[in-house]
Amino acid sequence: MVDVLIGLQWGDEGKGKIVDLLAPRYDIIARFQGGPNAGHTLIVNGKKYVLHTIPSGAIHPNTLNIVGTGTVIDPMTLCAEMDMLMADGIDVSQRLELSDKAMLILPTHKMLDKYFEESKGHLKIGSTLRGIGPAYQDKYARIGIPLGHIHHKDFDAQVKELSLFHLSLLKIYGLRPEDFDLLDHAKTTWLDAIERIRSLSITAIEDTINQAIKDGAKVLAEGAQGSLLDITFGSYPFVTSSNTISANACIGLGIAPQKIRQVIGVFKAYMTRVGSGPFPTELSNETGELLRTHGHEFGATTGRKRRCGWLDTALLHKAIILNGVTDLMMTKSDVLNCLPTFTAHDKNGSAHEFASWPDDIAEITQIDHLPKNLLKYLDFIDHQSGIQVSGVSTGPQRHQMAYR
């Protein structure tokens, strides 16, 4: 049995927090798309962990964490994450399985990301510059290097050939001498990281997952980014380079559609977006600034300011349909009480005003016990989205969650 958890907005909905919270109900947590453009924050016992590659089951001692077939992997980020966890006594390496079909991100992929963005001028996407787009480009051009090739005897030659091709492209874009030096340095660090990950479990994870399902295991597929950044259904071209919606869990893990049971959709009580692209309910004013300050809306991967705005239920409704959401979870409602009143847009685009609440909701564990004004907001969302919110996150910490 597989459940899928995905973001319903432009990413950073709080997926990491919810996955960490739900992890004890599952045997396996698996990432199925994206790469280190993701930044998933978990706060456990007051300690903060930001994960980019390793699934958000990392802190649980009995959870197997799988990095799936549909992902792109930067060995340097992966090693840095393992070290970050190890510094806290968490050795995830024995509970980590990487797909042999995941695609490797080379230092030249990151450099290409930067030069492609620069060349776009005012049409730049605001990419995280982690090499995601160029790595997926090479996958579909059938010149990429799958992680499993790390054990092939001509691996070094493959890396050399692809790097030389990238260099020829970079020269067309006017590669600067300082960036050439940077690449030279990165190559050494990258090869060191490759040596370290050689000893990890690199397998046909689709076989592991399907056997586990057959044996009765429960799997949670952890989405990255959000539905509005989906390469097909997002606001193209201001999107990421993978399909972020639930259907891609099948391709990104090698499981058949009928194996999927629940689809857990996570959304913020307001909206944020990092990078460029349309944002109909954006607040480019003091109110937006207030939400950013109180919600700590700065990117977990790049530290950039997140653009803030009101909840747009037309977009939420569409994302719920595209993903087939069965369980709806709202995060960051606690942030809204930094304002006396706040707004949300209905499916027709009309604005509705709501009064906030003075109470601190951080320790409330039942939705019924939430302040009356927040329950009114939930009623509105239930009505507009066509599905009842079943979980309300009341703060960034693991236990801060109210259920219906």
Query: Which of the choices ligand IMO, Mg ion, ligand GDP, none does residue 272 contact, using the CB cut-off of 5 to 8 A by kind?
Result: none
x/- track of binding to Mg ion for residues 262-291 (CB under 5 A): ------------------------------
Footprint of ligand IMO (CB under 6 A): 7, 10-12, 37-40, 125-128, 130, 132-133, 224-226, 229, 240-241, 274-275, 300
C-alpha 231/C-alpha 227 separation (Å) is 9
Query: Which of the choices Mg ion, ligand GDP, ligand IMO, none does residue 198 contact, using the CB cut-off of 5 to 8 A by kind?
Result: none
Footprint of ligand GDP (CB under 6 A): 7, 11-17, 39-41, 43, 296, 300, 331-332, 334-335, 393-396
User: Strand, coil or helix: what is 244?
Assistant: coil
Peptide bond just before 371 cis, omega within 30 deg: no
* Contacts of 372 by beta carbon, 8 Å cutoff, 6+ apart: 357
According to the binding rule CB under 5 A, does residue 300 interact with Mg ion?
A: yes
According to the binding rule CB under 5 A, does residue 34 interact with Mg ion?
A: no
Q: Which is nearer to ligand IMO, 174 or 237 (CB)?
A: 237
C-alpha 260/C-alpha 1 separation (Å) is 6
Residues 64/34, Cβ–Cβ less than 8 Å: no
Q: What is the nearest approach in angstroms of Mg ion to the Cβ of residue 77?
A: 14
According to the binding rule CB under 5 A, does residue 12 interact with Mg ion?
A: yes
Q: What is the nearest approach in angstroms of ligand IMO to the Cβ of residue 51?
A: 9
Q: What is the nearest approach in angstroms of Mg ion to the Cβ of residue 267?
A: 14
CA 238 to chain centre: 16
User: Strand, coil or helix: what is 298?
Assistant: strand
State which of residues 34, 35, 36, 39 lies at the interface with Mg ion (CB under 5 A).
39
Q: What is the nearest approach in angstroms of ligand GDP to the Cβ of residue 328?
A: 14
Q: Which position has the token pair 């459940």?
A: 3
Q: What is the nearest approach in angstroms of ligand IMO to the Cβ of residue 323?
A: 15
Residues 394/400, Cβ–Cβ less than 8 Å: yes
According to the binding rule CB under 5 A, does residue 144 interact with Mg ion?
A: no
Query: Which of the choices ligand IMO, ligand GDP, Mg ion, none does residue 335 contact, using the CB cut-off of 5 to 8 A by kind?
Result: ligand GDP
Backbone angles phi, psi at 220, to 5 degrees: -115, 120
Query: Which of the choices Mg ion, ligand IMO, ligand GDP, none does residue 159 contact, using the CB cut-off of 5 to 8 A by kind?
Result: none
Q: What is the nearest approach in angstroms of ligand GDP to the Cβ of residue 367?
A: 13
* Alpha-carbon torsion (329, 242, 10, 227), positive or negative: negative
Q: Which is nearer to Mg ion, 12 or 97 (CB)?
A: 12
Q: How many other C-beta atoms are found inside a 10 Å radius of the C-beta of residue 215?
A: 8
Query: Which of the choices Mg ion, ligand IMO, ligand GDP, none does residue 395 contact, using the CB cut-off of 5 to 8 A by kind?
Result: ligand GDP
Q: Which is nearer to ligand IMO, 132 or 253 (CB)?
A: 132
**Which two tokens mark 91?**
């050795």
User: Strand, coil or helix: what is 345?
Assistant: strand
Query: Which of the choices ligand GDP, Mg ion, ligand IMO, none does residue 132 contact, using the CB cut-off of 5 to 8 A by kind?
Result: ligand IMO
Query: Which of the choices ligand GDP, ligand IMO, Mg ion, none does residue 240 contact, using the CB cut-off of 5 to 8 A by kind?
Result: ligand IMO
User: Strand, coil or helix: what is 42?
Assistant: strand
* Contacts of 97 by beta carbon, 8 Å cutoff, 6+ apart: 64, 65, 66, 67, 201, 202, 203, 205, 208
Output the CA–CA distances (angstroms, integers) from residue 184 to 80, 108, 128, 223, in the order listed: 20, 10, 21, 33
Q: Which is nearer to Mg ion, 291 or 364 (CB)?
A: 291
Q: Which is nearer to ligand GDP, 41 or 65 (CB)?
A: 41
Q: Which is nearer to ligand IMO, 12 or 206 (CB)?
A: 12
> Which letter does DSSP use for residue 306 in this model?
P
Q: Which is nearer to ligand IMO, 223 or 254 (CB)?
A: 223
Residues 16/116, Cβ–Cβ less than 8 Å: no
- Amino acid found at 128: T
User: Strand, coil or helix: what is 386?
Assistant: coil
Q: Which position has the token pair 């939430």?
A: 370
Residues assigned a catalytic role: 12, 40
- Which residues lie near Mg ion (CB under 5 A)? 12, 39, 300
